[in-house]
């Protein structure tokens, strides 16, 4: 069995080089193949140079370049389609998000759908595809793939995007997801990225840009996370709530004083029912305070009076939601409050003249309300995701209204039956 000498190998190798193959895999295989061919011919007695010439001839005829192209095409088909898909998706997903943001800004309907769709596409499909294409690219360049980088990158990015999505849609768990992704980024992803950047000198600029981008995203992340109600808004709302309560009490005592000079069964009924509803509202506020945080117990004195100066956690909303809507273990008290208000409204209307009806309906309205692009129930509007102080405002303001209405209705009753005194 003939074997080519080193020199003969060299000659053949140079001939192949002339063909200008770039795909080294193919080149090595071609070299070996042609060696075997020549060796076979030499076994039949043809000497090297002649065998070499025959083989070279075939080489020309074989359109080596074309074959290389065809090979590369076949191998890369799936990869190139994936890459194209990635580019398209990479344009669509953020566009949807931006469109959705514009819609939200303009209060047009469908904003939430656009934003959630865009974010979901980005997190669930684009991110993994981008990772796969990057890995393939790195392999093609013949460099080692940093698996840790890709795994942590995809996972962190995914959790981050999911966190943003949940935050925008006001779904539970948003803060958990965002916090977790920040921790992951800081503790694991950034170190891996930095070590990768240091080693990978070629792409230093690119890696540095990615790092800057990641840090910027984290800053945004932290801001979004801290996007609770602004302190100024909170403190002004506390003042309003306290004023509401004081005013309610004042009007209430006025009415009581007034009733001392004049009373009948009807008036007493109105006063009693008003007091009951006032109590219910007060108890609801106490419950919400306590449910929001243990420390708020100190803000509630005997007789269920409330001193907001001793309370805190005004921006928390879980306490409100627990009391109004309930959970698996406790029924919500919202519905009961709603029926009490409706009952009171009907009571007042039946004991007053028609002129007062509109005011009563307006002040004690319990129907649906508009929230941006859709309608919500009265309870949802006032208490869903409402900071504690906002719920307290709603309830204390209601106390004010019922005492005001009490006064008006009593005046009406007095006017109708002026002969009844003391």
Binding site for other proteins (CB under 8 A): 6, 9, 25-26, 28-33, 35-37, 62-64, 66-67, 70-71, 74-75, 78
Shortest Å, Cβ 71 to other proteins: 4
Shortest Å, Cβ 83 to other proteins: 15
Nearer residue to other proteins within complex by CB, 35 or 122:
35
Shortest Å, Cβ 291 to other proteins: 59
Nearer residue to other proteins within complex by CB, 12 or 306:
12
The three state secondary structure string of the chain is CCCCCHHHHHHHHHHHHHCCCCCHHHHHHHHHHHHHHHHHHHHCCCCHHHHHHHHHHHHHHCCHHHHHHHHHHHHHHHHHHHHHHHHHHHHHHHHHHHHHHHHHHHCCCCHHHHHHHHHHHHHHHHHHHHHHHHHHHHHHCCCCCCHHHHHHHHHHHHHHHHHHHHHHHCCCCHHHHHHHHHHHHHHHHHHHHHHHHHHCCCCHHHHHHHHHHHHHHHHHHHHHHCCCCCHHHHHHHHHHHHHHHHHHHHHHHHHHHHHHCCCCHHHHHHHHHHHHHHHHHHHHHHHHHHHHCHHHHHHECHHHCECHHHCCCCCCCHHHHHHHHECCCCECCHHHHHHHHHHHHHHHHHCCCHHHHHHHHHHCCCCCEEECCEEECHHHHHHCCCCHHHHHHHHHHHHHHHHHHHHHHHHHHHHHCCCCCC
Residue that has been written with the tokens 């004049």 in this structure: 262
Shortest Å, Cβ 184 to other proteins: 33
Measured distance CA(256)–CA(48) in Å, rounded: 124
Shortest Å, Cβ 376 to other proteins: 54
Whether 308 contacts 238, CB under 8 Å: yes
Shortest Å, Cβ 215 to other proteins: 38
What contacts 350, CB < 8 A, 6 or more positions away? none
CB atoms within 10 A of CB 64: 18
Whether 284 contacts 256, CB under 8 Å: no
Nearer residue to other proteins within complex by CB, 64 or 177:
64
The pair of three-digit structure tokens given for residue 417, joined into one six-digit string = 């039956």
Shortest Å, Cβ 42 to other proteins: 14
Nearer residue to other proteins within complex by CB, 55 or 184:
55
Shortest Å, Cβ 87 to other proteins: 21
Nearer residue to other proteins within complex by CB, 38 or 177:
38
Shortest Å, Cβ 85 to other proteins: 18
Shortest Å, Cβ 89 to other proteins: 23
Whether 213 contacts 190, CB under 8 Å: no
Residue that has been written with the tokens 């929230």 in this structure: 371
Nearer residue to other proteins within complex by CB, 30 or 391:
30
Shortest Å, Cβ 67 to other proteins: 4
Nearer residue to other proteins within complex by CB, 107 or 139:
139
Nearer residue to other proteins within complex by CB, 38 or 161:
38
Nearer residue to other proteins within complex by CB, 10 or 339:
10
Nearer residue to other proteins within complex by CB, 12 or 164:
12
Nearer residue to other proteins within complex by CB, 26 or 218:
26
């Amino acid at each position: 069995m003939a074997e080519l000498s080193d020199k003969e190998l060299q000659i053949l190798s140079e001939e192949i080089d002339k063909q200008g193959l770039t795909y080294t895999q193919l080149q090595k295989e071609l070299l070996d193949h042609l060696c075997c061919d020549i060796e076979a011919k030499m076994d039949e007695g043809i000497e090297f140079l002649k065998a070499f010439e025959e083989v070279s001839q075939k080489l020309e005829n074989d359109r080596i370049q074309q074959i290389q192209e065809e090979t590369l095409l076949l191998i890369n088909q799936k990869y190139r389609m994936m890459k194209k898909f990635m580019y398209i998706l990479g344009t669509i997903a953020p566009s949807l998000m931006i469109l959705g943001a514009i819609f939200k800004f303009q209060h047009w309907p469908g904003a939430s759908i656009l934003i959630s769709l865009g974010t979901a596409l980005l997190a669930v499909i684009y991110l993994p595809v981008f990772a796969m294409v990057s890995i393939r690219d790195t392999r093609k360049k013949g460099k080692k793939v940093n698996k840790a980088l890709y795994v942590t990158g995809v996972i962190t990015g995914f959790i981050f995007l999911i966190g943003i999505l949940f935050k925008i849609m006001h779904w539970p768990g948003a803060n958990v997801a965002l916090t977790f992704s920040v921790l992951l980024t800081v503790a694991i992803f950034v170190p891996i990225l930095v070590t990768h950047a240091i080693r990978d000198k070629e792409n230093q600029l690119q890696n540095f840009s990615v790092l800057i981008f990641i840090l910027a995203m984290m800053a945004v992340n932290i801001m979004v996370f801290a996007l609770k109600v602004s302190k100024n808004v909170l403190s002004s709302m506390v003042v309003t709530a306290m004023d509401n309560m004081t005013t309610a009490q004042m009007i209430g005592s006025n009415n009581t004083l007034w009733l001392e000079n004049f009373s009948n069964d009807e008036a007493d009924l109105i006063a009693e029912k008003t007091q009951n509803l006032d109590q219910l509202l007060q108890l609801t506020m106490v419950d919400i305070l306590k449910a929001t945080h243990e420390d708020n117990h100190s803000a509630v004195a005997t007789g269920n009076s409330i001193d907001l100066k001793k309370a805190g956690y005004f921006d928390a909303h879980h306490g409100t939601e627990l009391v109004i809507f309930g959970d698996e273990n406790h029924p919500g008290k919202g519905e009961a409050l709603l029926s009490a208000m409706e009952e009171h409204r009907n009571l007042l209307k039946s004991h007053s003249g028609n002129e007062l009806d509109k005011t009563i309906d307006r002040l004690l309205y319990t129907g649906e309300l508009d929230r941006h692009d859709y309608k919500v129930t009265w309870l949802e509007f006032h208490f869903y995701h409402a900071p504690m102080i906002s719920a307290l405002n709603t309830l204390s303001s209601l106390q004010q209204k019922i005492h005001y209405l009490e006064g008006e209705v009593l005046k009406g009753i007095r006017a109708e039956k002026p002969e009844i005194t003391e």
